[in-house]
Amino acid sequence: MALLSIRNLEVVFPLRTGTIPAIQDVSYDLEEGERIGIVGESGAGKSVSAFAILNLVSQPGYLSSGSIVFEGQEISNADDETMRRIRGNKISMIFQDPMMTLNPVLTISTQMEETLLAHTRMTREAARSIAIEKLRAVQIPSPEKRLEQYPHELSGGMRQRIVIAISLLTDPRIIIADEPTTALDVTIQAEILELLLALCNDYRMGLILITHDLGVVSQISQRILVMYAGRIIEQGNTREVIASPAHPYTRGLVGALPEMTRPGRRLNQIPGTMPSLQSIPTGCPFHDRCSHVTDLCRSHRPDLVSGSRRAVACHHPLTG
């Protein structure tokens, strides 16, 4: 049985200007110890699909359908009490913006100790020493001193490392990390990725990593999910998908990497922009940016069809 099993998630935002379907039909499994990477265009629904797991979608959005099974228990309709026990305890979330986790008016020590005391019975001293241990794990120099500081006194990367330390406090079963290393320099990024990797291997922790850095995905995740306009459009083994993308959008994404162009030259762009979620075209949501478009693509949306290891939502998948 999978550690986490997600089926047909749909989240909508009712706005003044109409209802936005932010994600539709998102399904995947996460096994114990498995590491999944989610990539895709900005606004494609990566963060929303992760927030939905923990019932954290921001107002006025809500989970309009779908099922989420964690350790055999359906949690999509769980009450607040159950969710509180899971959130920040068995499933931790690292947000893209560290200030979503950190309270600006509390010192780091208060925030870390409170997190621990909320989920576990222990003394404040014990909580403090765990906090220091986790700060060391994410390479914060002089943790005792940093504990007494406020978030605004720390650099962007240091804040993010503290958030990562907070997410590790309760030894969670799953970490959902939304762009956890975007604000970090590559040396610290490398250390943190290694730390996450070790946790997955040693404690069979599951990891859902949202990132736009294909280098990071290649290094960390065994499986990759590519999202576009609210849906998963390709998934499979990370190496295989990056080496030979089957969906034209995935190919465009890989082709846009700076490494694919000589320095100083214009980078390859995918023409056009992702459609606004309020006006997703009929047929394939990518059709008006795709160079392989046919009439079929304009009229019928392709389903995510799975082969043995690869699934792709395209009428004319690329080969080789």
Partner 1 sequence: MNSTPGQESESLVSVRNLYRYFNVSGGWLDQISISKGKMVRKVEMVKALNGINLEIEKGEALCLVGESGCGKTTVGRTVMGLLSPTRGSVHYRESRIDTLDRKGMLPFRRKMQMIFQNHHASLNPRKTVAKTLLEPIRFHQPELSLPEQRDKVASIMESVGVDAGWGARFPHEFSGGQRQRISIARALIVDPEFIVADEPISALDVSIQAQVLNLLMEAREERGLTYLFVTHDLSVVEHFGSRVAVMYLGRVCEVGQVGEVFSEPRHPYTQALLSAIPKVGGEKRRHVKLKGEVPTPIDLPSGCIFHSRCPHAREICSKEAPELVSAGEWTDVACHGVRENWF
Ligand X SMILES: Nc1ncnc2c1ncn2[C@@H]1O[C@H](COP(=O)(O)OP(=O)(O)OP(=O)(O)O)[C@@H](O)[C@H]1O
| Sites of contact with ligand X (CB under 6 A) | 13, 15, 20, 22, 40, 42-48, 58, 61, 96, 152-158, 183, 185, 277
Q: What angle separates helix 186-203 from helix 156-168, to the nearest 10 degrees? A: 10
* Closer residue to ligand X (CB): 127 or 229: 229
Q: 197-202 long-range contacts, Cβ below 8 Å, gap at least 24?
A: 197/35, 199/168, 199/175, 200/33, 200/34, 200/35, 201/33
47 counts as binding partner 1 under rule CB under 8 A: yes
Give the DSSP H/E element, type plus range, for residue 206: strand 206-210
40 counts as binding partner 1 under rule CB under 8 A: yes
- What would the two tokens of residue 314 be? 């395209």
47 counts as binding Mg ion under rule CB under 5 A: yes
Shortest separation between residue 58's beta carbon and partner 1, angstroms: 7
* Closer residue to ligand X (CB): 56 or 293: 56
- What would the two tokens of residue 254 be? 């890989």
Answer for the pair 96, 159: CB distance below 8 angstroms, yes or no.
no
Site for partner 1 in 212-241 (CB under 8 A): 212-216, 218-219, 239
Site for partner 1 in 276-315 (CB under 8 A): 276
Q: How far is C-alpha 247 from the chain's CA centre?
A: 20
Q: Within a 10 A sphere around the Cβ of 51, how many other Cβ atoms? A: 21
Shortest separation between residue 153's beta carbon and ligand X, angstroms: 4
* Closer residue to ligand X (CB): 18 or 307: 18
- What would the two tokens of residue 97 be? 């913006």
Query: Rounded CA gap, 295 and 293, in Å?
Result: 7
Stretch that binds Mg ion, among 45-53, 125-133, 251-259, 276-284 (CB under 5 A): 45-53
49 counts as binding partner 1 under rule CB under 8 A: no
Q: In 3D, which of 289, 278, 275, 210 has the Cα closest to residue 247?
A: 289
Residues of this chain that interact with partner 1 (CB under 8 A) are 13, 15, 17, 39-44, 47, 58, 96-97, 99, 139, 141-142, 145, 148-149, 153-158, 160-161, 179, 182-190, 193, 212-216, 218-219, 239, 242-243, 252-254, 256-259, 261, 263-264, 266-270, 273, 276
